[in-house]
Amino acid sequence: MPERRAAGAAPKPVALPIVLVGPMGAGKSRVGARLAASVGAPFIDTDQRIVERYGPIDEIFDREGEKYFRVIEREVVAEALREEAVVSLGGGAVLDADTRDDLAALPVVWLKVSADAVAPRLSGGNRPLLAEGGLDRWIRIRDERRPLYEQVAGLAIDTSRRSVARIVDQITEWAGARA
Number of Cβ within 10 Å of residue 114's Cβ equals 14
pLDDT tens digits for 127-157? 555 556 677 888 999 999 999 999 999 999 9
Containing structural domain, residue 31: 14-173
User: What does pTM read for this prediction?
Assistant: 0.87
Flag whether 118 is in a domain. Answer: yes
CATH code: domain of residue 136 = 3.40.50.300
According to the model, what pLDDT value does residue 8 have? Answer: 43
1 lies in a domain? no
**178 domain-assigned:** no
Euclidean distance between CA atoms 138 and 8, whole angstroms:
42
| pLDDT tens figures, 23-42 | 988 999 999 999 999 999 99
Tally of structural domains, the chain = 1
Q: Is residue 157 part of a domain?
A: yes
The Cα–Cα gap between 68 and 78 comes to: 16
Residue type (1 letter), 118: V
User: pLDDT tens digit string along 85-101?
Assistant: 999 999 999 999 999 99
Q: Is residue 2 part of a domain?
A: no
